[in-house]
Chains A and B, each alone.
Chain A
Amino acid sequence: MAGIDVTSLHKKYPDGTVAVEHVDLSIGDGELFVMLGPSGCGKTTTLRAMAGLERQTSGDIRIGRTLVNDLPPAERDIAMVFQFYALYPHLRTRDNLAFPLRAEGKPEKEVRERVAEVARMMQLERLLDRRPHRLSGGEQQRVALARALVRRPQAFLMDEPLTNLDAELRADVRTEIKHLQAELGTTMVYVTHDQVEAMSLGHRIAILNKGRVEQVGTPLEVYDRPASLFCAAFIGSPPMNLIEVQVAEGALHGPGGLVLTPPDGLPRDRSLVAGVRPEALEVTAPGADRTVPARVVSAEALGDEIIYVVDHGGGTDVRVRMPPTVRFAADEQVGLRHAGGTPPVYDTSTEELVA
């Protein structure tokens, strides 16, 4: 097993497009590291460069202590799982799983043992004699994952492996991947555009935008303190409310009279916005303590929570996450207050976190 270090990775295509712009990443041994971003952000290109499927323009990639820039994919000792299943259609599950081991020339006894072991782990025992066309999409994806696992490589590289699964199965397989990774302790780099997947899987998440890394952090770090307005908009659903604020008398003043607690070290004379998570706001009966008057624009009851869209005279409506027991109707007059901690604050011109 091994960590992966990416130093100043740069990828420029012949037409001049820069897909990856001097990216630095340091992925720990045994870490489940997620690269998250919208399509075109450079996450897949970075992953493919790690795998050796894409030659970088400049920059270094090390797996363990080995500089792998000039090594072909097969010599990098990594296993790649793609968003499409790529199983051999004419082979039974058993032989699909055995394929990478046989290709390495392992003795047949070891092949059988390792296939049996991975099949047990991934609950594929009763599917071992089926061919891919007799497997559901979810089953095919589990076989594809198992085939990557059976090799015990130094690292797994995964490119949106769950994209083709329906929502229910996606959540199940996600849980399995995370559990397996913890059990095996193998380094895993996982690429996705789905923030829920990134949050729930990753030990750490790198958020990429236009070929650059905007932030690297644990799920709670990127959720609580997004490093830029881009990250703030990308993580969390509904996303963070971005509220224009002025600093005066030791407080942050938003439109409509909303008052927020300021963080330390705020710069002066800049145009600022505070990032306020929907659960850091509260909708109350009108006139309650420390509230500003507001009107419910809409209420979205999601079963275990209600998202209120509220107009407090601030120009932009804010979203508030409340427990399902608190009920207000659309158009009802209510109070709105800030209920939680100090919000991160951003400079609107640089779009970066300032405090």
Chain B
Amino acid sequence: MGTVAAHGLRKSFGDVQALDGVDLDVPDGSFFVVLGPSGAGKTTTLRAIAGLEKLDGGSVHLDGRDATNDTPAARDLAMVFQSYALYPRRTAYDNIASPLRARKASSSDIAAAVQQVSALLHIERLLQRRPAQMSGGEMQRVALARALVRRPRAFLMDEPLTNLDLKLRVEMRTELTRIHRTLGGTFLYVTNDQVEALSMADHIAVLRDGRVQQVGTPTEVYERPANQWVAGFVGSPRISLLACRAEGDRLVGAEGWSLPRPRWTTAEDGRPLLLGLRAEDVSVEKRGETALAGELYGLEPLGDRTVVDVKVGSETVKVKARPTVTGTPGQRVSVTVDLDRAHIFDAGTGLALSTTGR
């Protein structure tokens, strides 16, 4: 068992409200990611769950039992940080063995556990090295191994891949999901990187200003963002948001465009709205009835695709196109819109309207 639940977590530092009623339900065995920008309260949430932060309010339940007042050790959680925090003078073997030695495990049990976790992380050949003789990626693996060598109730990870270079990060993403599947434990993982969240999580909680904005699977969060802010934070290139309002059977843009009103919008006429368009749901290469007239602003080749920036009046629409697409700034372009895949948000509250029709 390894369920972790947080209810109504509140914490302020001076006049900054770091946590403003955070609720999380982390199912047993899940890879649960808390995603948010810096300052959202992610690390504070994790530290509160670990018992490293005293709360102003709220409770932490572990395996259904109130653990709010338990010491960190009694909670039986393992933490992995973005800095590796290895003992510099000890070998990888001794670093990994240290949590077991602290628990007075027998040396044969320790040897077996270290051997097993080293095989899982492919670090058998590093065991006799000290941190100074390892690369950053190797140290991160050893730090992970040290957390994984125990069988705690859950693993808490605070941006463990942040200090790795891009290539290693990509590899470690895959490694972590593999390790999670192999071990079958509960992972609670904090990051500001939406690619990490989407690629590894089975559940994502999106956090902003100490409040949970949305909880869902990666697909739900990407395809049915609960509000305008989540839509903008998750997905790259960022979703384009165009000011508009409904008028009869039309959607009329603040920049003068007009599109058929999607059947599933319930917003009453005249209410200020935002039309949200993901770069892959618009096209400058396809022709279609429902299109926005604009001017090419710039091209950003990314290799496997090129992002085309189109100015529609003063607003920008980002469009995913084939890598070989060409054009010159200033040129007139028509952006075909797949309205069945569009998002509509209330411009005042930012909340998504009528996602059920999608």
Contact = CB atoms under 8 A, between A and B. Distances in A.
Contacts, number: 103
A179 B329 contact: yes
A179 B279 CA distance: 19
Interface stretch (B73-81, B235-243, B343-351): B235-243
Given A298-B181, A300-B177, 18 more contacts: A167-B193, A168-B233, A171-B237, A178-B300, A179-B309, A200-B300, A220-B324, A223-B303, A237-B170, A277-B304, A298-B174, A300-B174, A300-B198, A303-B222, A303-B223, A304-B280, A307-B199, A330-B181
Contacts of B167: 233-234, 237, 239
24 contacts: A166-B38, A168-B233, A175-B316, A183-B329, A199-B303, A200-B300, A200-B307, A220-B323, A223-B304, A236-B304, A237-B170, A239-B170, A277-B304, A298-B177, A300-B177, A300-B199, A302-B195, A302-B198, A303-B198, A303-B223, A303-B234, A304-B235, A304-B278, A317-B174
Interface string A227-241: 000000111111100
Contact of B178 (A174, A239, A297, A303): A297
Cβ-closest 10 pairs across A and B: A300-B199, A200-B300, A223-B303, A303-B222, A219-B301, A304-B280, A298-B177, A279-B304, A238-B170, A309-B174
Interface in B292-327: 297-298, 300-304, 307, 309, 316, 320, 323-324
A38 B195 CA distance: 21
B107 interface: no
A178 B279 CA distance: 19
B173 interface: yes
B329 A200 contact: no
Most buried by A among B219, B301, B302, B303: B303
A238 B303 CA distance: 11
A297 B237 contact: no
Interface in A184-241: 195-196, 199-201, 219-220, 223-224, 233-239
Given A38-B165, A220-B324, A297 B199 contact: no
B185 interface: no
Interface string B136-168: 000000000000000000000000000001110
Interface in B1-57: 37-38
B218 interface: yes
B206 interface: no
Nearest to A300: B199
Interface in A161-181: 166-168, 171, 174-175, 178-179
Contacts of B177: 298, 300, 330
Most buried by A among B173, B198, B232, B329: B198
Given A179-B329, A220-B323, A301 B38 contact: no
A147 interface: no
Nearest to B175: A298
A175 B300 contact: yes
